[in-house]
């Protein structure tokens, strides 16, 4: 049941325990127990909302930043990653394979604000060798959700 | 001469589908929710669509062999074995058709004619009766009952069969009731059928949409296989309704004749759809499972909802329909559906559109989002509260 609950919550975190129970053909108490267990174990780390900020008329600028760093003896990349992800402007930070080491997602109100953050904060961290900043111009799909899809039902109302 | 005077009486006598009745009404409405559509709300999975697109880009726009590409028939043979443990020879026992609909038509044309009776368990998909009448044969309804979960009972079947009975159309998982038949149910009716000279046309379009166990085909009974025409397709399982592609499997002697009708009337099934269908069988399985899991959740929401409203509904284990009993409202099926549409903007289909014995029931499909289902259920609850005596 754990897997099934996660599948549903992943696309709709607002669903009630009662609704979940009906969908999965089980009782509310079992659903509550499984969710509580997953929260305690840290399998579920939070519930958030996917927002198309453009439509909300709030300017949010997102940049994907590739960062090359020098790993530290005994600490690998963890130490420098920690220095980076502590900033509230950093929304995501991952160690990646390939030509770069860390992949960092930064959000700000304007391009200038993000650029300054990179120049003044990220680039100046001691083990950071270089950064490459890519601003997001348009979001097509995020977390499995296609943004600009008209929600219209294209089917004929009645066929046979 | 008036053109109408020249039209054959058995064509005129065939009524148009009763489902279409509310078409104009709903098209003028805003915020209407249709629980009337008998097709998946999912788009065809991208891997399948893409293969259709590639075939066009490569200029593969020519006829295939009449029976369909041999690659597709081989895939179908593998699929039938893998899924339903049925063995058919791709060269002589499989025909690719324009949807399951064409297969129903040509199977009936091959086996039914003037003077013959075709047994149709009702409530049923509306095309069976129409296609039977187009052949000049007589449709004989076998009235299924809610208390039997709309499964065929051997005693009922026995009573319907007379010398002129040429075929029976069996369709499980069922449209409109959502009923399934399990192995034991089939075993009982096989006992009745095996002593009779009667063909079985088994419409298994919804075979993948079984939420209780593995789909059973009557052709799995060795004594039935040679006299059963198994009809299946891609519309429901792979969400490919608009592609118009299905298939029939049958004994070579039957297939040879069915193929002749297909050859002269159709030539071959659309080839873009055939290329897409090959990909569907090769790699569509995970997508099918994803859709079936989603339908299953919605099914529980709708079934639970109707019972909470007090419209009793047996648990439908197949297809994507609920078939609640609305008699407690004191309304006829037609009144219920018409008023529900006008007053609450929810479209359902009156059960009697699927045969007289469907009176007192309505068909509601859960091939729509959970959000739509919940909203529709709350509107239905409000409506029932208002009209119930």
pLDDT score for A157: 72
Q: How confident is the model at residue B178 (pLDDT cuts 50, 70, 90)?
A: very high
Nearest to B300 among A7, A25, A153 (CB): A25
Please provide residue A95's backbone torsions phi and psi, each rounded to the nearest 5 degrees: -85, 130
Q: Verify whether the Cβ–Cβ distance A19 to B300 is below 8 Å.
A: no
Neighboring chain B residues of A19 at a CB cutoff of 8 Å:
301, 374
Does residue B323 have a cis bond before it (omega within 30 degrees)? no
pLDDT score for A58: 80
Interface A-B: count of C-beta contacts within 8 A: 50
More confident residue, B100 or A59: B100
pLDDT in tens, B349-361: 999 999 999 999 9
Q: Verify whether the Cβ–Cβ distance A156 to B347 is below 8 Å.
A: no
Q: Are A108 and A89 in contact (CB under 8 A)?
A: yes
Widest CA span in chain A: 70
Nearest to B41 among A25, A155, A157 (CB): A155
Neighboring chain B residues of A25 at a CB cutoff of 8 Å:
300
CA B34 vs. chain centroid, Å, equals 19
Domain with CATH 3.40.640.10 in chain B: 59-284
Q: Verify whether the Cβ–Cβ distance B297 to A24 is below 8 Å.
A: yes
The average pLDDT across A12-27 equals 94
The answer on pLDDT for B341 being more than 80 is yes
In CATH, B59-284 is 1.10.3720.10: no
Q: How confident is the model at residue A34 (pLDDT cuts 50, 70, 90)?
A: very high
By CA distance, what is B22's nearest residue in A?
A158
Domain with CATH 3.90.1150.10 in chain B: 3-44+286-387
What is the radius of gyration, based on Cα positions, of chain A? Answer: 21
The average pLDDT across A116-124 equals 95
Residues of A with CB under 8 A from a CB of B: 7-8, 19, 22-25, 153, 155-160
Q: How confident is the model at residue A158 (pLDDT cuts 50, 70, 90)?
A: low
What percent of chain B shows pLDDT beyond 90?
A: 94
pLDDT in tens, B155-165: 999 999 999 99
pLDDT score for A159: 66
Q: How confident is the model at residue B18 (pLDDT cuts 50, 70, 90)?
A: confident
Q: DSSP letter for B25, please.
A: H
The average pLDDT across B239-245 equals 98
Q: How confident is the model at residue B24 (pLDDT cuts 50, 70, 90)?
A: confident
Least confident of B33-42, B90-99, B182-191, B359-368: B33-42
Q: How confident is the model at residue B23 (pLDDT cuts 50, 70, 90)?
A: confident
pLDDT score for A143: 79
**What DSSP assignment string belongs to B215-279?**
---GGGSHHHHTTEEEEEESTTTTT-GGG--EEEE--HHHHHHHHHHHHHHTSS--HHHHHHHHH
The answer on pLDDT for B188 being more than 90 is yes
The answer on pLDDT for A145 being more than 90 is no
What CATH fold (topology level) applies to the domain B3-44+286-387? Answer: 3.90.1150
Rounded Cα distance between B72 and B275, Å, is 8
pLDDT score for B217: 98
Q: How confident is the model at residue A55 (pLDDT cuts 50, 70, 90)?
A: confident
Count the neighbouring beta carbons within 10 Å of the beta carbon of residue B113. Answer: 12
What are the tokens at B275? 């290329």
From the list B286, B367, B284, the residue with the least C-alpha distance to B49 is B284
More confident residue, A149 or B150: B150
Least confident of A40-44, A114-118, A147-151, B210-214: A147-151
Q: How confident is the model at residue A134 (pLDDT cuts 50, 70, 90)?
A: very high
What percent of chain B shows pLDDT beyond 70?
A: 99
Q: Which residues contact B309 (CB under 8 A, 6 or more apart)?
A: B377, B380, B381, B384
Q: Verify whether the Cβ–Cβ distance B127 to A160 is below 8 Å.
A: yes
Q: Are B190 and B224 in contact (CB under 8 A)?
A: yes
**Mean of pLDDT over chain B:** 96
pLDDT score for A57: 77
Q: At what angle do helices B271-283 and B70-84 cross, to 10 degrees?
A: 40
First to last CA, chain B: 54
Count the neighbouring beta carbons within 10 Å of the beta carbon of residue B55. Answer: 19
């Amino acid at each position: 049941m754990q897997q099934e609950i996660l599948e549903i919550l992943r696309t709709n975190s607002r669903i009630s325990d009662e609704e979940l129970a009906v969908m999965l053909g089980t009782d509310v108490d079992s659903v509550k127990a499984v969710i509580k267990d997953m929260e305690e174990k840290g399998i579920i780390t939070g519930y958030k909302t996917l927002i198309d900020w453009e439509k909300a008329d709030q300017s949010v600028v997102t940049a994907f930043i590739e960062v090359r760093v020098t790993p530290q003896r005994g600490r690998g990349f963890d130490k420098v990653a920690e220095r980076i992800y502590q900033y509230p402007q950093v929304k995501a930070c991952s160690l990646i394979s390939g030509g770069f080491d860390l992949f960092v997602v930064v959000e700000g109100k304007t391009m200038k604000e993000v650029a300054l953050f990179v120049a003044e904060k990220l680039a100046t961290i001691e083990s950071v060798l270089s950064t490459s900043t890519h601003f997001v111009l348009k979001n097509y799909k995020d977390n499995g959700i296609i943004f600009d899809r008209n929600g219209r039902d294209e089917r004929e109302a009645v066929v046979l | 001469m008036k053109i109408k005077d020249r039209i054959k009486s058995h064509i005129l006598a065939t009524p148009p589908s009763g489902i279409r009745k509310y078409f104009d009404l709903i098209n003028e409405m805003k915020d209407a929710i249709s629980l009337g559509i008998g097709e998946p709300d999912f788009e065809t999975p991208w891997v399948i669509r893409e293969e259709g697109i590639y075939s066009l880009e490569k200029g593969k726009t020519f006829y295939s062999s009449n029976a369909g590409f041999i690659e597709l028939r081989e895939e179908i043979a593998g699929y039938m074995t893998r899924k339903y443990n049925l063995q058919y020879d791709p060269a002589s026992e499989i025909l690719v058709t324009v949807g399951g609909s064409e297969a129903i038509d040509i199977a009936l044309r091959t086996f039914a004619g003037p003077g013959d009776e075709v047994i149709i368990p009702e409530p049923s998909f509306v095309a069976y009766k129409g296609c039977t009448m187009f052949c000049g044969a007589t449709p004989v309804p076998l009235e299924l009952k809610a208390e039997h979960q709309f499964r065929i009972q051997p005693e009922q079947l026995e009573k319907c069969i007379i010398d002129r009975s040429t075929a029976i159309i069996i369709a499980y998982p069922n449209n409109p009731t959502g009923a399934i038949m399990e192995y034991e149910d089939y075993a009982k009716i096989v006992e009745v059928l095996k002593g009779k000279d009667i063909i079985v046309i088994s419409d298994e379009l919804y075979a993948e949409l079984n939420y209780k166990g593995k789909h059973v085909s009557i052709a799995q009974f060795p004594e039935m296989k040679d006299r059963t025409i198994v009809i299946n397709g891609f519309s429901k399982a792979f969400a490919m309704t608009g592609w118009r592609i299905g298939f029939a499997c049958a004994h070579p002697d039957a297939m040879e004749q069915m193929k002749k009708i297909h050859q002269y009337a159709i030539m071959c099934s659309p080839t873009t759809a055939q290329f897409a269908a090959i990909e569907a069988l090769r790699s569509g399985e995970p997508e099918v499972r994803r859709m079936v899991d989603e339908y299953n959740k919605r099914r529980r929401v709708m079934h639970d909802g109707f019972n909470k409203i007090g419209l009793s509904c047996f648990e439908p284990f197949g297809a994507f329909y609920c078939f609640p009993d609305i008699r407690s409202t004191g309304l006829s099926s037609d009144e219920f559906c018409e008023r529900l549409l006008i007053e609450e903007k929810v479209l359902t289909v009156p059960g009697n559109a699927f045969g007289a014995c469907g009176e007192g029931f309505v068909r509601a499909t859960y091939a729509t989002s959970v959000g739509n289902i919940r909203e529709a259920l709350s509107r239905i609850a409000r409506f029932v509260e208002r009209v119930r005596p």
